Structure 1
Amino acid sequence: MSTPNNRRPDLSIDGSRLRRRFEELNEIGATDRGGVNRPALSDANKETRDTLVTWFCDAGLDVRIDEMGNIFARREGTDDRAPVLAGSHVDSQYNGGRYDGVVGVLGALEVVETLDDAGVETYRPVEVVVWTNEEGVRFQPDMLGSGVYTGQFDREYAYDRTDKSGDRFGDELERIGYRGETACVADDPYCYFELHVEQGPYLSERDLSVGVVEGVYGFSWLNARFTGAADHAGPTPMHLRTDALVATADVIQAVRRLTAATGTDLVGTVGSVDVSPNSINVIPEEVELTLDLRSYDNGTVDDAVEQIEREMAWAGEREGADWDLEEIMRVDAMPFDEDCTATVEAAAEAVGAEYMRMVSGAGHDANYLNEICPTSMIFVPSEGGVSHTEDEYTEWEDVVVGTDVLLQAMLAKSEER
Structure 2
Amino acid sequence: MSKVTLDERRFRERFEEFNEIGATAAGGVDRPALSDENRAARDLLVEWFRDAGLEVRIDEMGNIFGRREGREPDADPVLFGSHVDSQYNGGRFDGVVGVLGALEVVQALDDAGVVTDRPLEVVSWSNEEGVRFQPDMLGSGVYAGQFDLEYALGVEDDDGRTFGDELERIGYDGDAPCEADGVHCYFELHVEQGPYLEDAGLSVGVVEGVFGFSWMNVAFEGQANHAGPTPMDMRQDAFVATADVTKAVRELTATGGEDLVGTVGSVDVWPNAINVIPERVEFTVDVRSYDDDVVDRAVDRVREEVAWAADREGLEFAFEEIMRLDASAFDDDCIETIAAAAADAGYEYERLVSGAGHDASYLNAIAPTGMIFVPSVDGVSHRESEFTEWADVVAGTEVLLRAVREQATV
For the residues of structure 2 that align with 1:290 and 1:15, how far apart are their CA atoms?
42
Q: What is the letter of the counterpart of residue 122 of structure 1?
A: T
Q: Are 1:95 and 2:89 an aligned pair? A: yes
Q: Which of 311, 316, 326 pairs up with 1:317?
A: 311
Partner of 1:69: 62
Counterpart in the other structure of 1:339: 333
The answer to whether residue 163 in structure 2 is matched with residue 161 in structure 1 is no
What corresponds to 2:172 in structure 1?
178
Residues 44-53 or 186-195, more deviating: 44-53
Find the residue that maps to 2:297 and give its secondary structure: helix
Selected match of 2:200 from 200, 206, 216: 206
1:262 positional shift: 3.1
Give ranges in structure 1 of 5+ residues lacking alignment.
Answer: 1-6
CA distance in 2 between counterparts of 1:336 and 1:204 reads 23
Q: Deviations along 1:206-251, whole A, 9 cap, x unmatched? A: 1110110011000011111222222222222111222111111111
CA contact (8 A) 2:203 2:395 kept: yes
The question of whether the paired residues in 2 share the 8 Å contact of 1:217 and 1:359 is answered with: yes
Letter in 1 for 2:32: P
The structure 1 residue matched to 2:125, chosen from 106, 131, 134, is 131
Structure 1: how far apart are the matches of 2:125 and 2:216? Answer: 26
Q: Does 2:14 align with 1:32? A: no
Measured after TM superposition, the shift of residue 290 of structure 1 is 0.6
Among 199, 210, 218, the alignment partner of 2:212 is 218
Structure 1 Cα separation of the partners of residues 268 and 35 of structure 2 = 26
Q: Tell me the alpha carbon deviations over residues 301-320 of structure 1, each in whole angstroms, 9 at most, x when there is no partner.
A: 01111111221222222222
CA deviations on 1:121-148 (whole Å, 9 max, x unpaired) are: 1110111011111111111111111111
Q: CA–CA distance in 1 between the matches of 2:368 and 2:192?
A: 20
Structure 2 CA distance, aligned partners of 1:58 and 1:228? 59
**CA distance in structure 2 between the partners assigned to 1:171 and 1:132 by the alignment:** 14
| 1:114 partner amino acid | A
TM-score norm. by structure 1 comes to 0.96
Q: Which amino acid aligns with 1:400?
A: V
Percent identical pairs in the alignment equals 67
Q: Contact conserved, 1:34 with 1:391, CA < 8 A, in 2? A: yes
Aligned residue among 257, 267, 272 for 2:261: 267
1:188–1:372 Cα contact (<8 Å) kept: no
Could you tell me how far apart the structure 1 residues matched to 2:331 and 2:284 are?
32
Instruction: Report matched runs for 1:2-81 at 5 Å.
Output: 10-80=3-73, 81=75
What letter matches 1:27 in structure 2? E
Instruction: Measure how far apart 1:263 and its partner are.
Output: 4.5
Say which of 354, 371, 374 aligns to 1:360. 354
After superposition, the CA RMSD in angstroms is 1.2
Q: Distance in 2 between matches of 1:262 and 1:152?
A: 28
Q: 1:43-91: per-residue Cα shift (whole Å, max 9, x none)?
A: 1111111111111111111111111111111111101200000001111
For 1:260, the aligned partner's letter is: A
For residues 347 and 5 of structure 2, the distance between their equivalents in structure 1, rounded to whole angstroms, comes to 13
Aligned length: 409
AA aligned opposite 1:85: L
Please give the alpha-carbon distance, in whole angstroms, between the structure 2 residues aligned to 1:244 and 1:100. Answer: 36
Q: Which residue of 2 aligns with 1:3?
A: none
Structure 2: how far apart are the matches of 1:49 and 1:310? 44
**What is the CA–CA distance in structure 2 between the aligned matches of 1:55 and 1:236, rounded to whole Å?**
63
Query: SS at the partner of 2:266?
Result: strand
Q: How far apart, in 2, do the equivalents of 1:184 and 1:380 lie?
A: 29
